[in-house]
């Protein structure tokens, strides 16, 4: 057989299910679709990425894995998917077009992949602080991931900005590493878990500053001063920003309907208004954005894709 010709034919093969993103939603969708004997491909933009969970130092709410490190959990799910023979392609998806019978998925390289169905699980990304100094000091004292960068601030003074679970978790983690942690929230009430807040209130090296907004970040090559709109200037070496997430919908915003916050409109079955295009995980409209709900979404979306393929 002519091997070259055979390879070419293989490259042109259309997948049954192309999944965008290899977080818990994407990998679970792949596991379910693969076990239904479908031809599955995951496209993930980060090298061996496993999504947001890789940023968490400790996960206490995923059943069966009490206290597991997020990176480790991600690796375990990835190994599970790989053991089933699921293929991963490292590439960023920049656009998706519906054709008569299938979808054309454009990658950053310009290459186009075709698939009968698409499950979009691109998740969410960190919202940035819109204040002077925010861009200038990124990676020079400003971080969006305490579990990734916290160790660099051992014995130093840092600030955490935000009022949700991420901010509270970050402050708790940093309180074990840093000399002093300022937790700054623009409101009086925190949105995050009351139990985590209570733990922080007990910590001697944590100072909670309510009703204050960051006005400017200054320094000399690296972060030095955090100026608040209350007039307070904090001497710090690190700022951890945890002010929410932005759904990653750039590649699909012309294809599907988004809600007012930018999330893709779909129910638990992942079905969207575009036949054959399904959505799962944090990028979907829903109440609770967690690993377990992302995984559940992935299973449901895969089931919808399987039904779609069977009935077509
Ligand atoms: C610091 C932190 C701590 C957390 N702690 C917990 C916890 O303790 N328990 C819990 O249940 N949840 C926790 N979460 C939330 C949980 O991680 C998310 O809800 C979950 O990861 C969402 O999964 P997902 O698959 O929908 O999306 P994500 O995990 O966001 O994965 C999306 C993937 O898609 C990829 N991608 C995006 N756009 C493209 C594109 N255009 N082309 C190709 N690939 C793309 C991304 O690189 C990423 O790998 C935490 C989150 C953070 C940030």
**Sign for the pseudo-dihedral over CA of 83, 88, 90, 93:** negative
224, HSE (Cβ side, Cα atoms, 13 Å)? 5
State the burial class of residue 39 (Cβ atoms within 10 Å of its Cβ: 0-12, 13-18, 19+). Answer: middle
Which of these is catalytic: 149, 169, 170, 282?
149
Whether residue 17 sits in one domain with residue 69? yes
In this structure, is residue 84 part of a structural domain?
yes
CA 79 remoteness from chain centre:
19
Task: Please check whether residue 205 lies inside any domain of the structure.
Answer: yes
Of all protein residues, the one whose alpha carbon is nearest to atom 48 of ligand 1 is 51
Measured at the CA of 128, the angle between CA 183 and CA 109, to 5 degrees, comes to 145
Boundary of a domain, candidates 241, 275, 303: 241
Nearest residue to 253 (alpha-carbon basis) of 268, 267, 263? 263
Atom of ligand 1 nearest to the CA of 61: 9
| CB of residue 294 inside a 6 A radius of ligand 1 | yes
Report the separation in Å between the CA atom of 221 and the middle of ligand 1, taken as the mean of its atom positions: 31
Domain stop point among 183, 216, 241: 241
Same domain, 26 and 117: yes
177 lies in the same domain as 224: yes
Report the CATH number that the domain containing residue 64 is assigned in CATH.
3.50.50.60
% residues pLDDT > 70 (the chain): 96
For 43-75, the pLDDT digits (tens) are 999 999 999 999 887 788 899 999 999 999 999
Q: Where a domain ends, among 192, 215, 241?
A: 241
CB atoms within 10 A of CB 235: 9
Pick from 263, 268, 274: which is nearest to 96 by CA?
Answer: 274
* pLDDT tens figures, 135-165: 999 879 999 888 778 988 999 999 999 999 8
In 121-260, which residue ranges form alpha helices assigned H by DSSP?
Answer: 146-149, 165-175, 194-202
Boundaries of domain holding 81: 3-126+245-311
Q: Are residues 152 and 61 in the same domain?
A: no
Cα of 141 from ligand 1 centre, angstroms: 23
Total structural domains within the chain: 2
The parts of the chain modelled with pLDDT lower than 50 are: 1-10
In this structure, the answer to whether residues 110 and 250 fall within a common structural domain is yes
233 and 172 part of one domain = yes
Q: Residue 133 domain-assigned?
A: no
Span from the CA of 69 to the centroid of ligand 1 (angstroms) = 14
Q: Are residues 209 and 265 in the same domain?
A: no
- Residue 131 maps to a domain: no
**Is there a single domain that holds both residue 307 and residue 172?**
no
Q: Measured between alpha carbons, how far is 291 from 311 in angstroms, rounded to an integer? A: 30
Instruction: Report pLDDT for 283.
Output: 98
Q: Is the CB of 28 under 6 A from ligand 1?
A: no
Flag whether 135 is in a domain: no
Kind of pairing between the strands at 180-184 and 214-219: unpaired
In a domain, 270, yes or no: yes
Residue 237: inside a domain: yes
Question: Quick check: 50 and 75 in contact, CB under 8 A?
Answer: yes
The pairing of strands 157-161 and 180-184 is: parallel
**What tokens appear for 100 in the block?**
């008569």
> Looking at residue 1, what is its pLDDT?
40
């Amino acid at each position: 057989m002519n091997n070259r010709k055979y390879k070419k034919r293989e490259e042109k093969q259309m997948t049954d299910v192309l999944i965008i993103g290899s977080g818990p939603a994407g990998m679970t969708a792949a596991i379910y679709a693969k076990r239904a004997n479908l031809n599955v491909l995951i496209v993930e933009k980060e090298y061996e990425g496993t999504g947001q969970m890789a940023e968490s130092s400790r996960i206490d709410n995923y059943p069966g894995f009490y206290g597991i490190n997020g990176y480790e959990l991600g690796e375990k799910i990835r190994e599970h998917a790989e053991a089933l023979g699921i293929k991963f392609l490292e590439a960023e998806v920049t656009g998706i077009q519906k054709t008569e019978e299938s979808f054309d998925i454009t990658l950053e390289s310009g290459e186009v992949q075709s698939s009968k169905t698409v499950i979009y699980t691109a998740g969410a990304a960190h919202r940035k602080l819109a204040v002077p100094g925010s861009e200038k000091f990124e990676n020079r004292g400003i971080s969006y991931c305490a579990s990734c960068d916290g160790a660099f601030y051992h014995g130093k003074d840092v600030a955490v900005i935000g009022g949700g679970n991420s901010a509270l978790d970050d402050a708790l983690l940093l309180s074990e590493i840093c000399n002093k942690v300022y937790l700054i929230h623009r409101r009086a009430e925190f949105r995050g878990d009351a139990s985590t807040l209570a733990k922080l209130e007990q910590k001697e090296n944590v100072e909670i500053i309510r009703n204050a907004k960051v006005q400017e970040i200054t320094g000399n090559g690296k972060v030095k001063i955090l100026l608040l709109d209350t007039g307070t200037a904090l001497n710090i070496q690190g700022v951890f920003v945890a002010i929410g997430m932005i759904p990653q919908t750039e590649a699909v915003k012309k294809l599907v309907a988004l809600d007012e916050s930018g999330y893709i409109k779909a129910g638990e079955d992942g079905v969207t208004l575009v036949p054959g295009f399904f959505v799962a995980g944090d990028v979907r409209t829903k109440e609770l954005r967690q690993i377990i709900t992302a995984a559940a979404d992935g299973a449901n979306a895969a089931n919808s894709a399987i039904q779609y393929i069977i009935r077509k």
